[in-house]
A = this chain, B = another copy of it.
Amino acid sequence: MNTLTERRAAILSLVVDEYIRTAVPVSSKFLADMSELSVSPATVRNEFALLEANGLLTHPHTSGGRIPTENGYRTYVEQLMFEEPIVEEERITVEHQLHQAAGSVDELLPLVSTILASWVGNVAIITRRAEQKRELLQVQLVDISGDTTLLVCVLDDGTVKKKFLTIYPYLNQTLLNQHANALNELLAGLTSLEIKSLVKSSTDFELLDLISVIADLIVEENMSENTYLDGIEVALQQPEFSDQESMLEAMGYLSIYRLERLINSVMTDGRDPSTRIVIGRDDDENITTGWSIVASKYGPDTNTGVIAVVGPTRMAYGYVLPRVRYLAGLITQLNRDLSRKNILDGSND
């Protein structure tokens, strides 16, 4: 409703900064004593009252300082916050650490999530989308026992997917090999989509069921096998969770399954930006009051996903955001290097 005057904006910004830092409500006296604003506590209090009328600040009890509302945080993030730049030292440590395990995405992503979590003292999560464009390299059928057959698919990024099948009538290994050979001739080099269209276009294949099982298996997302989460322990040290009840509630909230869904839904709601900050209860998303998310997409499109930090609304957005963005970029770049390498020569295990 009211545009913020410069001073009022400065006060809001200072309150948010200070509250984020200490988790203690901020008083008018404290702000007045800071050299930057050369005004008296009374003036600050007047501004407080206006900011509170605008719904940007609140106070938990009559006496005791101000804390930001959710809208206060949002205004701060959109207009006021200072993004803490990444210093050279951090950059070097990270790139050094990642270099050691940059063999494959499987090893890269868990490491990045650990680094991010320890940087920001909150939960870090990285999801990885099933890649529609992955090609099938080879199919294998292995007789495990009596009526159980194992289907193994190797994809072009080195991923191996398997599924137990029950095939009637019983096929021995020799027959299975024949089928596997037939399947390989038919399907090698195709993506899941191509295989599916193959299934649709004609119905006279033998093993039609099996082919469509393969198509599904290729893109199957193994819930939380493609999601890396770290930092629960450090996040729970926040003063927000100082009693058993809130701590257990937080642990439930931070379940990998729930967060995976949440993160993906936040980043796939049709909005443009590759980076988003969601603060507290947001009616569009089902995010709980008191929690915030800083999320960023990474790429390139052959291998996409979301990297995010999840924590209490009192989060150091100015510190978290550049780091999430930086790591998203780093993953993108490493992925790109990796796929270029694959085209040129390949990489070691």
Contacts and interface: CB of A to CB of B under 8 A. Distances in A.
B172 A156 contact: no
Contacts of A346: 144-148, 166
Contacts of A341: 145-146, 148
Interface residues of A, number: 49
Interface in A328-349: 338, 341-349
A241 interface: yes
Contacts of A236: 244, 247-248, 251
Interface centre among A142, A160, A162, A349 (most CB of B within 10 A): A349
Interface centre among A164, A174, A251 (most CB of B within 10 A): A164
Given A162-B160, A346-B148, A154 B172 contact: no
Contacts of A27: none
Number of copies: 2
A143 interface: yes
A164 B166 CA distance: 30
Interface string A163-177: 111100000111000
Contacts of A144: 137, 156-158, 342, 346
Contact of A148 (B143, B148, B164, B347): B347
A247 to B, nearest CB: 6
A286 to B, nearest CB: 21
Contacts of A104: 164
A55 interface: no
A209 interface: no
A233 B256 CA distance: 13
Contacts of A138: 140, 142
B145 A338 contact: yes
A252 B164 CA distance: 36
Nearest to A157: B144
Interface in A237-276: 237, 241-244, 247-248, 251-252
A225 B172 CA distance: 31
A349 B146 contact: no
Given A242-B244, A247-B247, A137 B143 contact: yes
Interface string A111-139: 00000000000000000000000000110
Interface in A151-203: 152, 154, 156-158, 160, 162-166, 172-174
In order of increasing CB-CB distance, the 7 nearest A-B pairs are A164-B349, A148-B346, A146-B346, A146-B345, A145-B341, A145-B346, A173-B349
Given A143-B348, A148-B158, A164-B349, 8 more contacts: A104-B164, A140-B140, A142-B154, A152-B154, A172-B348, A236-B247, A237-B244, A243-B244
